């Protein structure tokens, strides 16, 4: 082997080693906020978590849940009448006037873009008659429809209440659920909107510094801010790099700048380390003596440094990153059950055909009998007429 060939091979091996080291040793994000979670927006794969299941105060991130609940339950063109209770709300407002009438969609825009607490209460009262009734119904909605279990809201705005809480993971799941609705996604991503109310006519602006461009980060497509003295700084943000969408939620930052820095660090980590791939419905996964396969082609999230797929005896496929962290789970179908179901369907189909053939046979016999009876009746009638004439 020539010296040049040996050098070339060594150089290629060195580059390959460097690439592998870089991929495998991607450092975990250093997050200042007390709790944080990074999810794939489309698959709900959990790419990073810090105290993600700890109950925290969300502040105005609550309005993400209120918005999607209102969009799904209400008629966006219906007109709400603003109550005195809505007008008297503390904190950020869109300066509604008691008795003012506005379309539900406009109230959702004022609540989500400008974080109007008065608009949030007007929405709750319009949908369910009172804040108390709204709270009961949205909690049920979040559990049964969205699928979160560690969230309990006492009001539509996020104003502090000891029994008003969520987790970073739940809040990210709620955001991902909401993002599947195009009306929500449009409002959530709005930077500026002309507002023309009874007492206030102005351009309302999102409070989210990354969405506005004040804290530059490429690919931001939506976000919501929050703050109370108890919750401290909270932030939910969604970004898209053209290949994968990510949702980051950070809770309880002391400084406003910290939540934006944490979010940027999380997005850097997610975009550089993860990608989408397809779990093909023709793929087979084996657990002991059983074989399983996906019900359909399924988008999954994979670690660029390596992903491990395992299936248990119940057909639950777990997808882990190279460090053994669970990213997501997918329920598979058993080949035996499918084959049994197919045989049952064929058997049922055969029985159905046999019954149909029997029915057709009986119908044919009945038709013959019918013809014979009609023929006999005609003979009897004809004979009767002849007999009558003779008489």
Residue 136: which residues within 8 A CB-CB, separation 6 or more? none
Q: Are strands 274-279 and 220-228 parallel, antiparallel or unpaired?
A: unpaired
> CB of 65 within 8 A of CB of 117?
no
Buried b (16+ CB within 10 A) or exposed e, 29-54: bebbbbbbbbbbbbbbbbbbbbbbee
| 33, 60, 135, 253: the active-site residue | 60
How far are the Cα atoms of 24, 195, 231, 245 from residue 202, in angstroms, in the given order?
51, 5, 29, 32
Tokens standing for residue 51 = 């105290």
List the one residue out of 296, 304, 292, 301 whose CA is nearest residue 328: 301
Measured at the CA of 200, the angle between CA 198 and CA 205, to 5 degrees, comes to 135
Q: Is 212 a catalytic residue?
A: no
Catalytic residue among 50, 63, 224, 259: 63
Q: How far apart are the first and last CA of the chain?
A: 129
Is 130 within 8 Å of 154 (Cβ atoms)?
Answer: no
Catalytic residue among 115, 135, 231, 253: 115
CB 329 within 8 A of CB 345: no
In this structure, are residues 317 and 281 in contact, taking their beta carbons and an 8 Å threshold?
no
> Would you call 256 a catalytic residue per the annotation?
no
Catalytic-residue membership of 63 = yes
β-sheet bridge partners, residue 194: 203
Q: Which residues belong to the active site?
A: 60, 63, 115
């Amino acid at each position: 082997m020539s010296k040049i060939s040996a050098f070339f091979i060594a150089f290629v091996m060195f580059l390959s080693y460097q690439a592998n080291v870089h991929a495998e040793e991607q450092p975990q994000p250093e997050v200042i906020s007390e709790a944080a979670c990074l999810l794939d927006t489309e698959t709900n794969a959990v790419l990073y978590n810090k105290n993600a299941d700890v109950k925290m105060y969300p502040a105005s991130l609550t309005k993400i849940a209120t918005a999607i609940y209102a969009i799904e339950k209400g008629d966006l063109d219906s007109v709400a009448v603003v109550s005195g209770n809505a007008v008297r709300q503390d904190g950020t407002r869109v300066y509604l006037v008691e008795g003012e009438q506005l379309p539900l969609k406009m109230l959702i825009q004022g609540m989500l873009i400008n974080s109007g607490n008065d608009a949030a209460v007007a929405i709750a009262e319009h949908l369910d008659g009172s804040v108390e009734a709204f709270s009961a119904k949205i909690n049920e909605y979040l559990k049964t429809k969205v699928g979160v279990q560690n969230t309990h809201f006492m009001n539509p705005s996020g104003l502090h209440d000891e029994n008003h809480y969520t987790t970073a993971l739940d809040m990210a799941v709620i955001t991902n659920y909401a993002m599947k609705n195009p009306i929500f996604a449009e409002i959530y991503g709005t930077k500026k909107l002309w507002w023309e109310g009874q007492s206030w006519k102005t351009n309302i602006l999102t409070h989210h510094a990354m969405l506005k461009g004040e804290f530059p980060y490429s690919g931001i497509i939506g976000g919501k801010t929050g703050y109370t003295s108890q919750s401290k700084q909270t932030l939910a943000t969604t970004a898209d790099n053209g290949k994968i969408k990510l949702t980051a939620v950070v809770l309880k930052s002391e400084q406003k700048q910290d939540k934006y820095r944490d979010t940027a660090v999380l997005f850097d980590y997610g975009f550089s380390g993860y990608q989408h791939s397809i779990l093909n419905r023709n793929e087979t996964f084996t657990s002991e003596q059983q074989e399983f396969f996906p019900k359909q082609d399924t988008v999954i999230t994979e670690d660029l440094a390596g992903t491990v797929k395992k299936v248990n005896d119940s057909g639950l496929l777990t997808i882990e990153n190279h460090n053994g962290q669970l990213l997501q789970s997918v329920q598979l179908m058993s080949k035996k059950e499918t084959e049994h179901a197919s045989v049952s369907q064929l058997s049922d189909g055969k029985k159905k055909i046999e019954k149909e053939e029997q029915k057709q046979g009986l119908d044919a016999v009945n038709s013959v009998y019918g013809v014979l009876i009609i023929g006999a009746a005609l003979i009897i009638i004809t004979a009767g007429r002849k007999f009558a004439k003779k008489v």
